[in-house]
Homo-oligomer: A and B are copies of this chain.
Amino acid sequence: MEFWFEFASTYSYPAAMRIGKLASEAGAPLEWRPFLLGPIFAKQGWDTSPFNIYAAKGNYMWRDLERTCDELGIAFRKPTVFPRNGLLAARIACTFAEAPWVGDFVRGVYVANFARDEEISDPTVLGSLLSNLGHDASAIVESAQASGAKAMLRAQTDKAVEYGIFGSPTVRVDRELFWGNDRIEAALRWHARRRLHP
């Protein structure tokens, strides 16, 4: 089960907080797949989040997100900057996608953005997050900014487009896409069904 996500994305926050536990309970190995929505939105003629472009939709989303987090018991504070630039965080998550700590890092970045209103594009914010997880922050940040790491994230974003992904979060199971925090359960049901009837 692949979890495709962009760090700036609002509904990806509750999704990222939930999916690790849900996948584990379902016996579905989870792959963390960060990608960038910016280039995808740009191709649709959007230079920012559609939630900023379409006011009614944006107003609704913030209220709905607040209610959603409230129901799930997840802390939420509306960020003062939206969307925040998640490029460096995505490069780190992409480079270290196989590391056992990647889930904790991803959740930490989302909490920083959507519960603590921190500037996740700031390397010192990400650095202290990594340090708190017990890692050598500067070594990690440095390797995530190497040209190979940059190319890896670009390739992963291209792969997202190739798969038909257009928004975040998207869960991909067995070539099927499930878009939105509200589709995680459907993705899990699909996974369970495929295990019974492969």
Task: Determine, out of A88-96, A126-134, A142-150, A161-169, the stretch whose residues face the partner at the interface.
Answer: A161-169
Let me know if A56 and B165 touch, CB within 8 A. Answer: yes
Count how many chain A residues have C-beta atoms less than 8 Å from C-beta atoms of the other chain: 26
Q: Are B179 and A182 in contact (CB under 8 A)?
A: no
Closest to A189 in B: B71
Work out how many copies of this chain go into the complex: 2
For A167, list chain B residues within 8 Å (CB).
57
CA distance A60 to B177 in the complex (A): 7
A164-B60 contact in complex given A67-B186, A71-B189, A186-B71, C-beta closer than 8 Å: yes
- Contact flags (1/0) for A5-19 with B, using CB distance below 8 Å? 000000000000000
Which residue of chain B has the shortest Cβ distance to A182 in the bound complex? B182
**Chain B residues within an 8 Å CB radius of A104:** none
Choice from B60, B67, B166, B182 contacting A57 with Cβ under 8 Å: B166
A197 at the interface (CB under 8 A from B): no
16 contacts between A and B (CB under 8 A): A44-B54, A54-B166, A56-B161, A56-B164, A56-B165, A57-B166, A59-B164, A60-B177, A63-B177, A64-B178, A64-B183, A67-B190, A71-B186, A71-B189, A180-B182, A182-B183
